[in-house]
A and B are shown apart, each in its own frame.
Chain A
Amino acid sequence: MIPLLEAKHISKYFGVLKALDGVSISVQENTFHGLIGPNGSGKSTLLKVIAGDHYPDEGNLTFNGNDVTNHTPELRAQNGLNLKFQITAIFPELSVYDNILLSLQSSESFWNLVLSNSRASLHDRIMDTLERFKLVDRAGSLASELSHGLQQWLEIAMAVIRKPKLLLLDEPTGGMSPEERRATGELLLPIKKDCTLIIVEHDLEWIKDICDNLTVLDQGKVLDDGTVKHIESSQKVKEVYTSRV
């Protein structure tokens, strides 16, 4: 089967620092792929390269059968590739509801936007998603008034409602309590049937429960990859994790 996303030999320099060093990763459709590794190992950089925030210095990217290495972020987003940043990037001074609407209406035509033709028809879908992410009561509040955990959920909701083919989540549970983490996992599992996911996480325990495959990065290189079982028993990974984290 052709993978949905294939990154081949990606390298990315920041000045003299080689943040990514020949990284290859391939993700099958409708699987959850975990990306782990110590601080500074290049996880966020890899996601940003995939989403188009950074362009790689070497290597190429294939998404859904097309070479997207030089595509702009807008184009990738239109084609179904979405990123949730590590630092929450919601629109703080818009209401929760409007945040979701903004995310959902991005494929509307110019006149539909000017004449506000679609906001009535999108309403039900927005309310459903708000319901699912337990944000209904807060629909009218400003996004900046939400707790940190709810802001993360809002951002995930903004991505999920677009029905992306591939969703990139950079530390979706960052700063959450264990209880919230568990709940986040439960929210994510149901989207597997129509969406592929790449998740960056520090918490190995959490990520192995929801992911099918894992890639371990260390100092910009792939240390090991494979199924969760394989990684759990990998000696190389154990060394890195026990020595540095």
Chain B
Amino acid sequence: MSPIIKKASLFKKILYRQAGVIPIVEILLLILLIIIPFFVGDFLTIIITRMLILALLAISFELCWGYSGIMTFGQGLFFGMGGYAVALFANKADFVQLWGVIPIGLIVGMCASFLIAWLLLLGKRPPELIFIALGTLTFSYAAERLVAGWYWVGGGNGMSIFEYLRIGSFEVEPGRLFYYIVATILLLVYLTSRFLVRSQFGLVLAGARQNEKRLAFLGYKVQKFKAIVFCFAGAIAGLGGGLYAHHEGFIGPGNVGIGISTMAVLYALFGGAGSLIGPIIGVLAIESISFTLSDIDAVRGYWPIILGVILLVVVTFKQDGLLGFVVTQRERIGSFGILKATESKPSETSQHLKNEKNDSPS
């Protein structure tokens, strides 16, 4: 190796380790989301608002799966219950205030997920992955059937919300303002989740993913940690559902069950599990692709098949998702203590230099 190449690779190593790619992706995405309504019309703004609401669902799945190892097909259930709850408040009590919709979604999602966590996670023995997957799947399916057959909540037709969301007496129509409200909520949820998974609490989750049994021998009640994340994620999904119902002016059995739960899984896997930004990218990518495909006349009849093939190819051949093209596994896991992985670099660099010196005489 020539010295120049050596220097270059050393430089790359330093640069790479210090900066990290995730913050760059985060900032780029944030800028994009702030400016985009000024470049597209109202119609597309509404489409993108829906994507951002679905991003809440994707984050909620990712907290469970990527960060806590809980394979859940229940996120659609919490999402739908949040939606149904705010729709009921709107239709039966004429209550459509934003300041109420947010806590209703959060609380309903959290209570529902707490119930399921209590049933599935907090038993005597730590449950198997498949047990939780099938358990949550069953609940989602049951909920879907239940609302479809229950006349009071609209039965198979679902429920429409005829009033716009309000702040005081001011009506928030779907459009630019709604977009920025959702974007702000998404940002807050993202930052809270990011804070959580990078905290010392997040370190416990990272440990549980790698060796759950060992963690118990360190004195951690692992299931309790998982249940806490599950409830937190359930609250986020419920919030997403509440916003969704008001944005679309509708909530139905299709927004509760297995279909939407599976979409949550796909968003995360497609975008890149093991990070919080990956699932958001997944939502944007999948929804943009399906939006584009469904608009092209030539493929109108087949677009779900084409989308399915694209998803299959990415999930099979790029297991770390789209984000895997730019972010390493190491960066996804990250560091938790105050000594960052980057700080050990000086000694490594000096070692590297030492080796170089040793090499040169020979």
User: Which A residues have a C-beta under 8 Å from some C-beta of B?
Assistant: 51-53, 72-74, 77-78, 82-83, 85, 89-95, 97-98, 101-103, 105-108, 110, 112-120, 122-123, 126-127, 137-142, 158, 162
Contacts and interface: CB of A to CB of B under 8 A. Distances in A.
Interface in B198-220: 199-201, 203-204, 206-207, 210-211, 213-220
Given A95-B337, A101-B337, A123-B338, 8 more contacts: A74-B219, A91-B214, A94-B336, A97-B339, A113-B199, A119-B338, A140-B340, A141-B341
A141 B345 CA distance: 9
A89 B343 contact: no
Contact of B219 (A77, A116, A137): A77
A94 B333 contact: yes
A98 B219 contact: no
Interface residues of B, number: 37
Nearest to B214: A89
A140 B339 contact: yes
B216 A116 contact: no
Interface in B313-342: 329-330, 333, 335-342
A71 to B, nearest CB: 12
A86 to B, nearest CB: 13
B336 A101 contact: yes
B34 interface: no
Contacts of A138: 344
Contact of A106 (B201, B220, B329): B220
A120 B339 CA distance: 9
A53 B206 CA distance: 22
Contacts of B329: 93
Contacts, number: 120
Given A97-B335, A142-B330, A114 B217 contact: no
Interface in B73-94: none
A140 B345 contact: yes
B199 A115 contact: yes
A105 B203 contact: yes
A116 B196 CA distance: 9
Contacts of B344: 137-141
Contacts of A105: 200, 203
Contact of A98 (B214, B215, B221, B335): B335
A114 B201 CA distance: 5
8 contacts: A51-B217, A74-B216, A92-B210, A94-B336, A110-B201, A138-B344, A139-B339, A140-B339
A236 to B, nearest CB: 34
B347 interface: yes
Given A77-B218, A105-B200, A140-B342, A98 B337 contact: yes
Max chain B C-beta neighbours (<10 A), residue from A139, A140, A142? A140
Max chain B C-beta neighbours (<10 A), residue from A116, A120, A142? A116
A230 B220 CA distance: 40
A123 B201 contact: no
A104 B106 CA distance: 34
A115 B198 CA distance: 10
Contacts of A116: 199-201
A91 B206 contact: yes
A73 B207 contact: no
Contacts of A94: 203, 206-207, 210, 333, 336
Given A91-B210, A123-B338, A123-B339, A73 B203 contact: no
B124 to A, nearest CB: 10
Nearest to B339: A97
A115 B311 CA distance: 37
Contacts of A139: 339, 344
A123 B337 contact: yes
A58 B213 CA distance: 24
A115 B210 CA distance: 23
Contacts of B204: 102, 113
A101 B220 contact: no
Q: 7 closest Cβ contacts across the A-B interface?
A: A140-B344, A77-B219, A113-B201, A106-B219, A140-B341, A78-B219, A113-B200
B336 A98 contact: yes
B8 to A, nearest CB: 22
B214 A140 contact: no
Max chain A C-beta neighbours (<10 A), residue from B204, B210, B218, B340? B218
A194 B213 CA distance: 27
A127 B339 CA distance: 10
Nearest to A141: B344
A52 B218 CA distance: 12
Nearest to B222: A74
Contacts of A137: 344, 347, 351
Contacts of B217: 51-53, 73-74, 77, 82-83, 89
A78 B348 CA distance: 36
B338 A102 contact: no
Contacts of B201: 110, 113-114, 116
Nearest to A122: B337
A91 B207 CA distance: 6
